[in-house]
Amino acid sequence: MPQPIDVVEALLFASDAPLEADRIREVLDLADAQEARGLVDTLRERYEAADRALMIVEVGGGFRMVTRPEIAPWLLRLAKTRTRARLSRPALETLAIVAYREPVSRPEVDALRGVNSDAVLDNLLERRLIRIAGRKEAPGRPFLYETTREFLVAFGLRDLGDLPKVDGQLTLPDGVTAEAAVVSPDGEAQAQQDPGAGGTDLTPGS
């Protein structure tokens, strides 16, 4: 008879997207997300203690099973390549703007960068690191962009609260405060980062 912790291991192995504590609770019929989190923690410690090739990380509001960074050279050899494709400097800076200002329109991104950002934004959309969150009620009704869960995964962030704090104008978007950055035990912080939770024009029940 498989133990709950074995099931959690299998769930993590089989999932491609970060697995939320709440999903684990649902699948295993647990009392609360805290119990699910506890199981993951135990599993994570077990992996660490056994010095396994895999580890469990918390990104994008859930848990993922990934290979340890020390294994990377062999994986690259398996892939017959030297490096993984990386984002360009303009792409990274544009992402930074979107992450801190989301939802943000193209003219706003342009103003901050001092150059046209059309191609860069298209590229980020294509890579699914950002997405269209709606339209701004401003002249021309420009699209609004926001970061995706893929962004959080690609940069190993639990949520936007993991971004470094900056003083001045580049403040965090509304709704993401320093408090929310610390993932609360009942997994509410993840819920806040759930895709589609904010920014869109959709209102339930209208």
* Residues within the interface to other proteins (CB under 8 A): 13-17, 57, 64-69, 72, 75, 83-84, 86-90, 92-93, 95-97, 99-100, 111-116, 119, 122-123, 125-126, 131-132, 153-157, 163-164, 166, 168-170, 194-196
3-state secondary structure 46-86: HHHHCCCCEEEEEECCEEEEEECHHHHHHHHHHHCCCCCCC
Give the residue with the Cβ less far from other proteins, 5 or 66.
Answer: 66
Give the residue with the Cβ less far from other proteins, 3 or 83.
Answer: 83
CB 163 → other proteins: shortest distance, Å?
Answer: 7
Give the residue with the Cβ less far from other proteins, 28 or 154.
Answer: 154
Could you tell me the sign of the dihedral formed by the alpha carbons of 112, 113, 115, 119, in that order?
negative
Number of helices (H), then strands (E), in the chain: 10, 5
Cα–Cα dist 74/76, whole Å: 5
- Helix 89-101 with 106-113: angle, nearest 10 deg: 120
Contact 186, 34 (CB under 8 A): yes
CB 86 → other proteins: shortest distance, Å?
Answer: 6
Give the residue with the Cβ less far from other proteins, 70 or 185.
Answer: 70
CB 96 → other proteins: shortest distance, Å?
Answer: 4
CB 56 → other proteins: shortest distance, Å?
Answer: 10
